[in-house]
Amino acid sequence: MDDRPSSHAVGVSLCDSAPLLWRVEDLRTVRSQGLVGALLGSLPRTPRQNVRLGRPLLLLEEEETLLRERQAAAAGYQQDGRGAELRLQVQQHKEDQQRSYEEQSVLALEDRKSALLRAMTSSHTESGAGAQGGALRGRLEALDRSFTFPCSALAVQLSTARAGLSYCPEARVVLRADRPIRGRDELNCDAARYQVFRDLRGRGFYLTSAGKFGGDFLVYPGDPLRFHAHFIAVCVSENESVGLLDLLSVARLGSNVKKTVLLCSPGPDGRVLYTSLQWSGMV
Amino acid sequence: MADQNKKEPELKFYNEILTPSELFAARSRSRKIPVRGQKDFFPDDSDEQRRRLEQSLTEHWSLISEERVEKLGNLVKATWIPSQQIVELQSPAGKFWQTMGFSATGKQFLLPEEALYLMECGDLQVLHQDLPLSIQDGYEKFLSSSTVSLLQYQVFGHLKRLGYVVHRFDPSSQPSSYARQLNLPQSRDRAEKRGKRKRSDSPSTTSSHTEAQEESDRMEDKRGVHEGEDDEKLPESHPATSPETSGTHNAAASSAGAGGTWWMADVLGDQSDHQPTSGSSSHRDFGSILFPDLGSREHLSSCLASPDPSLLPGSLAVGVCDVSHWRQRINLREVKMSPKEQEREEARRKRRWDVNKDRQVRRCRNWAEYRELLARRGGRREGRPAHLWNREVTPLHDPRQPIPTGQLLEKISVIESTHLLEGASRLKDSDDWRICFNVYQPDSVADFKKSDPGKPYSRMCVCSFGGPVPDLRAIKQLALQSGDVLVVFAVVDHGDISFYTFKDFQLPTDVIP
């Protein structure tokens, strides 16, 4: 489906220290790597609802770390040094808009003509074609002369991602994958969580955040678009003692939402020990 | 954008700008969201599943990649002012102005979170340095710790998309704990109220004091503003105190100035000051003052001599009093009793408690004190020992007020359940938790006024799943700050937002009354 090489660097932009992805291409790239993230923005098509959201995509810290790890060796983007002056950019923007206006007014005229043509021909197919044809030609010529495309009807784009030619040159800095997005110490990604995330992702599972289920990750057997989550992963280090009540409460919660609770304990050599709790059925 | 993907990624400079024909075509695109079908339980590698996944993903990407395209005439234009962190409108505002934005110096402004939300809705185009800002620019420029954080904006956007009216919470708009204690109305008429209170300090309004005003007066006393200049303040009907007591009370009053039992003493002290003539004759020999006994048979004179003028207040002159009129009304006949009756009467007299032998009564120096004593005793007889009630610490329950057993048990229980606001005013402010937004319900939008938004439906506190749970102290403080409006904790977990509230819970009691 989307088999771009993983050498494609993903442009992560930090907003309030949260890693956000903006460009569709980047979103596709991370999804093709099985990283789901979470959409935060309003959907352009129908903005006033929360059922389906749009860009930007917020990455989990683990996802960000994984991306960084995978792409550390990849040849990243080189900055092309196109730091056009602001004045030129404003000029460019105005010219673009003017060109867009001209093109759109041609399109609008054509649109109007074809609509007129359709209306005339469909309603007068049987009656005297000659006279009608003359009238049609007259109407079309009149339209050609008098048509003006109002400026307010000009369709303009409210860009989602910052355009490449936008005036903000620092945008391109983060595109270089060989430059870490953030230093390791800046990331407060828990090592245990990351190890579990990496292991589960490595086994082909899709993961999302499971805060509302009282766990660390929700584990999906396939793309979350099509599949329900099977597990609630709770990261517990191997030698950490867990209170019985805590254990029971996560297990109870898991059974209530028809998911299995996985206690994930990262081992020494990158392996993870998975344990699940089940009611024995004995009375 | 498909054509861009074919280019070499290393060399391509990224943009998602639509061509004019794409823009034109976008005018007639669908506004519907494709319905998501039932999810599968487990991937089974079937073609059917693969096809459905493919379809879902195609829909997903078409939705995600869609750009906002609006007609220029439908867009409100604005500019970003980085120095003030606000957005100034350049063209007339749209419908959103009813619930968003503010005017200042003849200009219309939007707060950054409002502007960003409107940008996301395709209602607003924000320019900076004559170039339109993308949504990404908006997120990166508008959201900061000095305005609204990303976390807070997530909550803001979530609620706005649901139709709620969301405003920033301004702690200074809340009445102070002092104002709240006085139960004053909201800040708008606070100034007027203050004027009223000043007027109430005049003597004439004493009797019409409302509770709040009285309280405020007392507060003023405490702060030393009041210096006893309003001695007329006391009601006329106050029982007279003898000149002898006035001396001690004066002392008490003066010590009250230094902050002792200021209130009670103040009252009595003022009263004694009010009797100018009594000051000189400080001691009286009550044994030498004769009270006439009109019932006595020995007394034959029909006239009473005028009393000693030194005993009378001021310039009051009392002449000779003719008592013959009164004597006619008194039954002067001797009571004829049988010997048995006489015996009984004798016994009764022996048993009878002679009021003059009572030490406490003898200690009374005037009628007021005697009356007080009687009242005290009366109270005791009624089941409420007065000495238990006239001090700072009083019994838990007044036995004269019968209440059901359940209530009584609740009342006398030493460990009581408390409510959220209890003791909250004593807590010091902390900056760890703060209320972010006032939220008004969607159905209030129609007649919503920004100038007079009324009481919010709830107040939002934004936190993250990664952070700590608010402790009782924080909950109390926020509840106090919010007053009678519910504080809701919006907990953001990555993309999900959950809303929680901490509510007082009254445990049911199973005592049958």
pLDDT in tens, A64-88: 888 888 764 333 333 334 455 788 8
Report the pLDDT value the prediction gives residue A254, as an integer from 0 to 100.
87
Contact (CB, 8 A) for A262 and A231: yes
Q: Are strands B86-89 and B107-110 parallel, antiparallel or unpaired?
A: antiparallel
Report the pLDDT value the prediction gives residue B299, as an integer from 0 to 100.
57
Look up residue A261 and give its two tokens. 């609770």
Note if A259 is an active site residue.
yes
Looking at the complex, report in whole angstroms how far the Cα of residue A46 sits from the nearest Cα belonging to chain B: 6
Nearest CA in chain A to B143: A16
B48 touches chain A (CB under 8 A): no
The residue from A94, A113, A167, A220 that is catalytic is A220
A209-245 pLDDT per residue, tens? 998 888 899 999 999 999 999 999 999 888 888 888 9
10-residue averages of pLDDT along chain B (513 residues): 40 66 85 84 88 92 92 94 94 92 93 96 93 92 90 96 93 70 53 40 41 46 42 42 43 41 40 43 67 66 74 77 76 77 82 76 86 77 72 81 80 73 74 89 87 91 89 88 90 92 79 57
Looking at the complex, report in whole angstroms how far the Cα of residue B128 sits from the nearest Cα belonging to chain A: 10
Q: Which of A1, A42, A109, A175 to mutate to test the interface with B (most CBs of B within 10 A)?
A: A42
**CA dist., res. A163 & res. B135, Å (int):** 10
B53 touches chain A (CB under 8 A): yes
Break chain A down into helix, strand, coil percent, rounded to 5. 40, 15, 45
A10-63 pLDDT per residue, tens? 778 888 888 899 989 889 989 998 999 999 999 999 999 999 999 999 999 899
Q: Degrees (nearest 5) of the Cα angle A187, A192, A196? A: 110
* Residue A283 reports pLDDT greater than 80: no
B231 touches chain A (CB under 8 A): no
B57 touches chain A (CB under 8 A): yes
B408 touches chain A (CB under 8 A): no
Report the pLDDT value the prediction gives residue B382, as an integer from 0 to 100.
64
Radius of gyration of chain B (CA): 41
Q: Degrees (nearest 5) of the Cα angle B270, B276, B281? A: 115
Residue A249's CB: how many other CB atoms inside 10 A?
13
Cβ separation of B24 and A167 shorter than 8 Å?
Answer: no
Q: Which residues on B lie below 8 Å from A221 (Cβ)?
A: 42-43
Looking at the complex, report in whole angstroms how far the Cα of residue A47 sits from the nearest Cα belonging to chain B: 5
When the pLDDT of each residue in chain A is averaged and rounded to a whole number, the result is: 79
**CA dist., res. B12 & res. B3, Å (int):** 11
Residue type, B279: G
Q: What is the pTM of this model?
A: 0.68
3-class SS of residue B356: helix
Instruction: Kindly give, in sequence order, each residue whose CB lies less than 8 Å from that of residue B13, ignoring residues fewer than 6 positions away.
Output: A80, A82, A164, A165
Note if A228 is an active site residue.
yes
Handedness of CA A250, A252, A257, A260 (dihedral sign): positive
Q: Are strands B124-128 and B76-81 parallel, antiparallel or unpaired?
A: parallel
Pick from B5, B10, B150: which is nearest to A25 by CB? B5
3-class SS of residue B98: helix
B64 touches chain A (CB under 8 A): yes
Cβ separation of B131 and A44 shorter than 8 Å?
Answer: no
Q: Degrees (nearest 5) of the Cα angle A230, A234, A235? A: 135
Nearest CA in chain B to A6: B9
The residue from A8, A93, A94, A228 that is catalytic is A228
Pick from B63, B71, B139: which is nearest to A20 by CB? B139
Nearest CA in chain B to A92: B131
Cβ separation of B140 and A43 shorter than 8 Å?
Answer: no
Looking at the complex, report in whole angstroms how far the Cα of residue A203 sits from the nearest Cα belonging to chain B: 14
DSSP label of B162: T
- Nearest one of B65, B108, B58 to B87, comparing CA atoms: B108
Q: How many residues are listed for chain A in this entry?
A: 283
**CA dist., res. B122 & res. B69, Å (int):** 8
Q: Which of residues 72-101 of A touch B (CB under 8 A)?
A: 75, 77-78, 80, 82, 86, 89-90, 93, 99-100
Note if A230 is an active site residue.
no
Longest dimension (CA), chain A: 94
Q: What is the DSSP string of B421-490?
A: TTTGGGSPP-SS----EEEE-GGGSTT--SS---S-SEEEEEEETTSPPPPHHHHHHHHHHHTTSPEEEE
Q: What is the DSSP string of B17-76?
A: PPPHHHHHHGGG---PPPPP-PPBSS----HHHHHHHHHHHHHHHHHHHPPEEEEGGGPE
Q: Which of residues 32-71 of A touch B (CB under 8 A)?
A: 37-56, 58, 60
Q: Which residues on B lie below 8 Å from A12 (Cβ)?
A: none
Report the pLDDT value the prediction gives residue A196, as an integer from 0 to 100.
93
Q: Which of A23, A156, A172, A235 to mutate to test the interface with B (most CBs of B within 10 A)?
A: A156
ipTM value = 0.85
Q: Are strands A272-276 and A260-266 parallel, antiparallel or unpaired?
A: antiparallel
Q: Which residues on B lie below 8 Å from A16 (Cβ)?
A: 143-145, 149-151
Break chain B down into helix, strand, coil percent, rounded to 5. 40, 10, 45
Report the pLDDT value the prediction gives residue B380, as an integer from 0 to 100.
63
| φ and ψ of B234, to 5 deg | -80, 145
Cβ separation of A23 and B16 shorter than 8 Å?
Answer: yes
Beta bridge partners of B498: B491
Cβ separation of A212 and B498 shorter than 8 Å?
Answer: yes
Cβ separation of B23 and A100 shorter than 8 Å?
Answer: yes
Q: Which residues on B lie below 8 Å from A157 (Cβ)?
A: 17-18, 23, 67-69
Cβ separation of A80 and B16 shorter than 8 Å?
Answer: no
Beta bridge partners of A21: A12, A57
Looking at the complex, report in whole angstroms how far the Cα of residue A189 sits from the nearest Cα belonging to chain B: 11
**CA dist., res. B89 & res. B76, Å (int):** 7
A208 touches chain B (CB under 8 A): yes
Contact (CB, 8 A) for A136 and A117: yes
Beta bridge partners of A15: A18
Q: Which residues on A lie below 8 Å from B16 (Cβ)?
A: 23-24, 159-161, 163
